[in-house]
Amino acid sequence: MKIEDFLRENACLIDEYLQHHFSPLSTTSSLVSPILYGVEGGKKIRASLTLATGLSYGVEKKHLLPVAGAIEMIHAFSLVHDDLPCMDNDDFRRGKPSMHRAFGEAMAVLVGDALLVEGLRLIAGNEELIKLFGEEKVLDMVSVILKALGIEGMVGGQVLDLEGEGREVREEEVWEIYRKKTGSFLTASILCGAIAGSAPPQEKETLKNFGILLGECFQIKDDILDVTQKKEVLGKTPGKDKIQDKATLVKIKGVEESEKIMKSKWEEAVRLLSSIPRPFPFLLEIARFVIEREY
C-alpha cells in the first residue's frame, strides 16, 4: 500500500470514528460541530504514527482507533490555540478559516479546551480500551501524552517559540523549541502504539529516539514549506515565520542547508529504527513522507 493511501484511509477512519463518537452529543451541545470542524482534514500524521507502530506490534487497527482519534483531537486542540490572535494569529488552517475566524475567539478557546479534555477522556475514561489493553497500559498512554504536552513538552516549547520571536537565537535554542513544541507529541503518538503493542522497554527507548529525530525533521520541513510553498497547497498562510521573525533553522542556516540537515537527521532516524529486529514498513514510509511532503 502506498503511504498516501495509508494516510488517506486513516484520515477517513479517524473522521468517521469521531463523527460516530460525538453524534449522540450533537443535539445537546453546540461544541460538537466546532469540535468536528477542528478535527476534520489535515494529514493525520500523528494518528497514523500510532496506527503504524501498533500494527508493527500486531495490534489490530480497529483496536487502536480510540487512541489515534484522541491523539488527533489533542493535536487539533494545539492547532486551534496556536492560531489564536494572542499566539500565532493565523486566519487559515487546513484550507478553511481557522477556528476563531469561523466561530469567534471565545469559542475557539473553549473548543480547544474541549478537544484537549475530551481527547484525554477518550483514552482514560474508555472502558472498552481498558478491557482490551488493561488499566496499566491505558494509564501509561495517558502519562506519556501528558508528559509530552507539559512544561518539558508542547506548552514549554510554545513558550520558547513565542520568546524566540524578533531576536537573535542560537541553533541549540531552535532545536529545543523543535523538540518540545513538535517532537514531544509526535513521539508520544508513536509510544502510544508501542504501549498498546507491549513493546519491550529497550525498543520503546529506540522508538522514542526515532520520534525525537522525526519531530526535528517534521518541524524543519514545516519551516521550509513556510518559505517555499503556496497558500493553496499549504492550506495555511505561508511566509509567516519571516514576518513574525520566528526562531527557525531556516532563519539561521537558510533553506538549502536546512534541507541537508533534515536529510541527515532522517537517515539517522531510519538507521535507528532498523536496529529494532522487527519490520516497521509504515513507520519508515511516514518518515519518508515527512521529509518529502509538499504540504
15 binds ligand GRG (CB under 6 A): no
User: Residue 18: which of 89, 72, 92, 88 has the closest Cα?
Assistant: 72
SS3 44: coil
Contact 65, 193 (CB under 8 A): no
How many of the other CB atoms lie within 10 Å of CB of 28? 8
Using only C-alpha atoms, the chain has a radius of gyration, in whole angstroms, of 18
How many of the other CB atoms lie within 10 Å of CB of 159? 14
Which is nearer to ligand GRG, 103 or 133 (by Cβ)? 103
CA 111/CA 243 separation, integer angstroms: 28
| Nearest approach, Cβ of residue 81 and ligand GRG (Å) | 4
By CB atoms closer than 10 A (0-12, 13-18, 19+), residue 24 is: exposed
197 binds ligand GRG (CB under 6 A): no
Exactly one of 39, 90, 94, 138 binds ligand GRG (CB under 6 A); that residue is 94
Buried b (16+ CB within 10 A) or exposed e, 183-194: bbbbbbbbbbbb
Q: C-alpha grid cell for residue 14?
A: 479517524
113 binds ligand GRG (CB under 6 A): no
149 binds ligand GRG (CB under 6 A): yes
Exactly one of 34, 38, 42, 164 binds ligand GRG (CB under 6 A); that residue is 42
Exactly one of 180, 181, 251, 265 binds ligand GRG (CB under 6 A); that residue is 181
50 binds ligand GRG (CB under 6 A): no
| Nearest approach, Cβ of residue 97 and ligand GRG (Å) | 14
Exactly one of 39, 56, 82, 282 binds ligand GRG (CB under 6 A); that residue is 82
182 binds ligand GRG (CB under 6 A): yes
Exactly one of 79, 169, 214, 273 binds ligand GRG (CB under 6 A); that residue is 79
| Nearest approach, Cβ of residue 93 and ligand GRG (Å) | 7
154 binds ligand GRG (CB under 6 A): yes
SS3 93: strand
Exactly one of 53, 78, 187, 258 binds ligand GRG (CB under 6 A); that residue is 78
User: Residue 116: which of 155, 142, 78 has the closest Cα?
Assistant: 78
Site stretch for ligand GRG (CB under 6 A), options 27-35, 39-47, 165-173, 202-210: 39-47
Binding residues for ligand GRG, rule: CB under 6 A, are 42-43, 45, 75, 78-79, 81-82, 87, 94, 149, 154-155, 158, 181-182, 219, 222
